[in-house]
A and B are shown apart, each in its own frame.
Chain A
Amino acid sequence: MDLQTKLRQEARKLLEEKLVDVVIGYEDEGAPLRTTPCFITDPQDVDRLVWNPFCDHNLARYLTARKDKAAVVAKGCDTRAIVVLINENQIERKNVNILGMPCGGIVDRKKIYNHLKNGDVREAVLKDKVITVKGLEFTADLMVDDFLADCCLSCRHRNPVLCDVQIGENLPPLDVKDEYKKIKQLEESTSEERWEYFRKTLSKCIRCYACREACPLCYCQQCFTDQNFPAWVGKTTDISDTIVFHIMRAFHTTGRCVDCGACERSCPNNVDIRMLTKKIAKDVKELFGDEAGLQLEEKAPLSFYNEDDPQDFIK
């Protein structure tokens, strides 16, 4: 029995036995190469739930606003985000029923459109590991594994870190080769080159804050961007303000970011946001040995310290 059917079965059981008020999952509304989050409350509707490599949203994002009992379809990175949210008192463990999905990686739509030179895909059919895309003047068969998202290529937690029910067997760990290759390349270049790189990619930002809204960890009632007296960061697309917004948002994910890639996927102008969050995750690992969202009751690195923390940079 394939995972999708098993997922629907579990969801129907939860709803029928009134264990949860809603099942948050993914639904296919017919748009090519993508699914959309859905909120199933009626057991009959569980057949709308799908499970395929296009289920890319981090559904933990929807848990912070809810007061009711919710079941959520969660990949490895999503469950890590849920652990962080529980540790930060944003959701209660008893209010969330986690349907853990071992995940082989999700497809990055932008990579496909890149490959197709931004061709207009009108239809996409997935048949075990092969996507057949059709446009008005072209068709093509694409292998799922060739278009996985960057964060999935270096994923160390393909299996749920925490779940009530796990749908499907654990996947073998991915042998991740040089997880921080891009970051290291940038680190080795000169500061002028790095500045030019970030000035260029961040000048595309139009301050729409989609990256902030897509991220499950950005649940603040009022973000520092909306703060007045003092207003720390300007609201225009002046390059200095945009850079300050992005480095400070990234700074606020220190030791919390689970690298689910939701921020980069939601950006309309393809800003390389993960180049910042991934760098901080690398530093946190090197300096403090921490990884985000692995245990409950785990303290975030910046609200914890050791007597012998590294301080070679301090005179």
Chain B
Amino acid sequence: MAPRIGVYVCHCGGNISEVVDIQKVMESLEGPVDVVQIKDHEHICSEVGQKLILNDIKENKLDRVVIAACSPQFQGITFMKTMEHAGLSPYVLEMANIREQCSWPHYDYPQEATKKAIDLTKMSLAKARLDIPLEKKVIPIGKRVLIIGGGIAGIQAALDLGDAGFQVYLVEKDPSIGGKMAQLSKTFPTEDCAACILSPKMADVPNNPNIKLMTSTEVKDISGYIGNYQVTVTRKALYVDPDKCTCCDKCVEACPVTVPNEYDEGLTTRKAIYLPSPIAVPHSYILDDKTCLGLFPLACSKCKEVCEPNAIDYDVYPTEEKFTVDTIIVATGFDIYDARQKRVYGLGKYENVFNALEMERMLAYAGEGKPLKDIGNRIAFIQCVGSRDEQVEHEYCSRVCCMYATKLACLLNRERPGKEIYIFYTDLRAYGKGFEEYYKRAQSEGIKYIRGRVAEILEDPKTKKLTLRAEDTLSRKIIESEFNTVVLSVGLIPNEGTRHVAGLLGLSRSQDGFLKEAHLKFRPVDTLIEGVFLAGTVQGPKDIPDSVAQAGAASSRAISLMNKGVYEAEPITAQIDESICIGCGMCADVCAYKAIEITVVDAHTGKKTAVVNEFLCKGCGTCAATCRSGAADVIGVSDHQISKMIEVM
């Protein structure tokens, strides 16, 4: 029987009604017999507005609703929930975007904006007439989650989910979890020691029965969909059996090979066989077959000879493991900007120029009481190296550099008083809790903040001292002074792991290269892929409290999905009319999700046609546009609906 459509035109508190003539829109919608009611409202998305819709649906027995208001990508979910409360399918709701597409961009052509609003609403009406009351598709969903990346965000998420009784697979590429935080000396603004607060958390991970920790492991492939992600991981061969190893350190002495130690950013050396870090979890030695003199053929084997517990075995090969999970949290962290690209600062040329992470390690270095390097009394920090810099295409602010520079300055200052420490900044960003007070305290302790960008650094070849030239924009003076050491506050950039995982999952990336969240304000830890969430700096530069908070958010989002036991999938998917399909296979070729297969549908005649796997299909519709005979279509965005919308033109 004919549809009964209710139309609501929203004023949006003036945002729309100041430009679009609401009355004229409503009058021009009268006429079609199936438009049973046209109403306007000051804020249709408000509590009152939604109640109005609810009552109208009941009283006027509406079976379709058209709302002319803001963008469906803004309030769409709100209204879909209202429809569900009213007992209607959320898919018989159409929204005409008369704010972002009419009143806002055309505020100085009110007549045209009104005409456009009328057309757009008529288009929504044309589509609504052919809407089908779809129901969400239901997939059973278990309690298994994969967390990629074992930094603080990955650890926190693993602990939250493990404690909540979910089966967690924590996959970490490096030999130990802890990520970048484990490399820090102290943390701002409280200056509590990074290792001290991180080690207990790291220790909880192996102790939690629900967490399966897989270090030195990389994700090779992920296929499937929410509730059915097939994950394949490859684990490196570590050649040392953690149960037998007693950490006696004899093998390290015997090993002839010395290479820069990643944990100390290359400031110290390690052997081919080594303990990843003093606070490594899992706490066991590993043999790095890339730097070892060679296992095939066996070149040296000195470590095996001195190992009494016989924990070393060269006959071990990388293994591959497959498992299925229901949701995924990506926490692959960040890399620091390679400041050598900024030639003008001389990192890599001048001896006494370091980046901030190296300075962290120098401070944390406790070897035999003798500091790694005498950094002298006059130290300069240069802010925004590789951040807020269009030349290197990193326009974003890395948010943490101002505060970690202040922290490093305070620590250095307190270590041996009488130092002169300068921080050259453009804007000092102390926005977080306790940051401003910390900044004030640093100034009171004698840290000098100079508001000016350092133009250049020159090194005196003999004394290795560094002269900085910068313009102090507050005192309008050009400063040129000599320093013993310069520390570059490098920004945060996306790392190789992020690119790899984004490729596997088809995650899109925002302009700064970090992973793109579903919605910046409303769904900051979701991604556009169902069941995949983000946590920590993989989504953008942030400090430890924010990363931990995001880890908690991502865990709760994953829990909220998995706790229901079922997942409702979008019903807008492709549909093949078997009576028309001739099985040419072009739709299967173009499907990015491999959701269509050419299968025999009639054993008697052997007729083959395309068949869509509803759970894999994301409803992109490329198959429908490729199909010549019109057998393929998309429910909810059908050719017929779009054809009717075109006819409104």
Contacts and interface: CB of A to CB of B under 8 A. Distances in A.
Given A89-B598, A299-B589, A302-B626, A220 B640 contact: no
Given A89-B608, A230-B644, A252-B628, A222 B586 contact: no
Contacts of B584: 88-90
A300 B586 contact: yes
Contacts of A304: 589
A227 interface: yes
Contact of B630 (A224, A299, A303): A224
Nearest to A249: B628
A86 B586 CA distance: 13
Contacts of A230: 639-640, 643-644
A270 B107 CA distance: 55
A221 B586 contact: no
B580 interface: yes
B49 interface: no
A180 interface: no
Given A230-B640, A303-B589, A303-B590, A224 B583 contact: no
Nearest to A253: B628
A195 interface: no
A31 B580 CA distance: 38
Nearest to B643: A230
A219 B589 contact: no
B629 interface: yes
A232 interface: yes
A90 B628 contact: no
B629 A223 contact: yes
Interface residues of B, number: 21
The binding surface of chain A is classed by DSSP as loop
A229 interface: yes
Interface in B602-649: 608, 626, 628-631, 639-640, 643-644
B585 interface: yes
Contacts of B586: 88, 300, 302-303
Nearest to A85: B584
B316 interface: no
Nearest to B585: A89
Interface centre among B584, B589, B631, B639 (most CB of A within 10 A): B584
Contact of B580 (A221, A300, A303): A221
A281 to B, nearest CB: 17
Interface residues of A, number: 19
Interface in A186-244: 219-224, 227, 229-230, 232
Interface string B199-240: 000000000000000000000000000000000000000000
B22 to A, nearest CB: 32
A230 B580 CA distance: 15
B264 to A, nearest CB: 40
B582 interface: yes
A220 B590 CA distance: 19
A300 B608 CA distance: 19
B181 to A, nearest CB: 38
Contacts of A302: 586, 626
Contacts of B581: 221
Contact of B583 (A89, A222, A227, A252): A89
B639 to A, nearest CB: 6
Nearest to B591: A303
A222 B577 CA distance: 11
Contacts of B598: 89
B585 A88 contact: yes
A146 to B, nearest CB: 38
B50 to A, nearest CB: 34
A229 B589 contact: no
A299 B589 CA distance: 8
Contacts of A89: 583-585, 598, 608
A300 B586 CA distance: 8
Interface in A260-315: 299-300, 302-304
Interface string A246-262: 00000010000000000
Which of A220, A223, A224, A299 gathers the greatest number of chain B CB atoms within 10 Å?
A: A220
B587 to A, nearest CB: 8
Nearest to B584: A88
A221 B589 CA distance: 20
Contact of A222 (B585, B630, B639): B630
Contact of A229 (B580, B608, B629, B640): B640
Contacts of B640: 229-230
Q: Which of A90, A229, A304 has the most CB of B within 10 A?
A: A229
Nearest to A299: B589
Interface string A143-159: 00000000000000000
A220 B628 contact: yes
A220 B639 contact: no
Chain A CB within 10 Å, residue with most, of B581, B585, B608, B629:
B629
B592 to A, nearest CB: 11
Nearest to B580: A222
Contacts of B579: 221
Contacts of B580: 220-222
A294 to B, nearest CB: 18
B600 to A, nearest CB: 11
Nearest to B583: A89
Contacts of B590: 303
Interface in B472-521: none
Contacts of A88: 584-586
A81 to B, nearest CB: 14
B643 A232 contact: yes
Contact of B626 (A220, A224, A303): A303
B582 A90 contact: yes
A219 B582 contact: yes
A222 B579 CA distance: 9
Nearest to A230: B643
A102 B440 CA distance: 91
A65 B49 CA distance: 60
B585 A227 contact: no
Interface in B560-596: 579-586, 589-590
A34 B585 CA distance: 37
B506 to A, nearest CB: 15
A221 B629 contact: yes
Nearest to A252: B628
19 contacts: A88-B584, A88-B585, A89-B583, A89-B608, A90-B583, A90-B584, A220-B580, A220-B628, A221-B579, A221-B582, A222-B629, A222-B630, A227-B630, A230-B639, A230-B640, A232-B643, A252-B628, A299-B589, A300-B586
Interface of B: 579-586, 589-590, 598, 608, 626, 628-631, 639-640, 643-644
Query: Which 10 pairs show the lowest CB-CB distances between chains A and B?
Result: A230-B643, A303-B589, A220-B629, A88-B584, A303-B586, A252-B628, A230-B640, A222-B580, A227-B630, A229-B640
Given A90-B584, A232-B643, 19 more contacts: A88-B584, A88-B586, A89-B584, A220-B580, A220-B582, A221-B579, A221-B580, A221-B581, A221-B582, A222-B580, A224-B630, A229-B640, A230-B639, A232-B630, A299-B589, A300-B586, A302-B586, A303-B589, A304-B589
